[in-house]
Amino acid sequence: MIIYTLDKKKDRKVKAGEIIGKTFKRNLKSNHYMVKENGYGMQVDVLERLVKEGVEDVALNYKSRRYVSRLQDWALNGKRKDYGHGEQVFLDKSYYKVLKGVNN
């Protein structure tokens, strides 16, 4: 199931990722890493939808790496911020398990 969200800065719907089983998967670009937050973010509405859908894990794919975390960590330990694209929840990279050599 593909999940979309509104990017306020771009003023259009964008693909947030895809739910496969109990995992939310998203392919990242280099500019998705937020240095100020020491991690990655997702829109608040996406997080709320993932909770409702019963998602357990988040897998963020970048090149040959996969950053895996628990959705519960996003909900409990994420920091809410808005840098112009809409309110997002950012999760510090210390919560991710990094898998190398993964084909997205």
Q: Which of 4-8, 31-35, 47-51, 100-104 has the highest mean pLDDT?
A: 47-51
List Cβ neighbours of 64 (8 Å cut-off, separation of 6 or more): 100, 101, 102, 103
Rounded to the nearest 5 degrees, what angle is found at the Cα of 23, between the Cα atoms of 17 and 24? 15
Range of the domain at 61: 2-100
Statement: residue 104 has pLDDT above 70: no
pLDDT, residue 85, reads 80
Q: How many domains does the chain have?
A: 1
CB 64 within 8 A of CB 100: yes
Most distant pair of Cα atoms in the chain: their distance? 35
Structural element, H or E, at residue 15: strand 12-20
- What pTM does this model have? 0.88
Amino acid at position 14, single letter: V
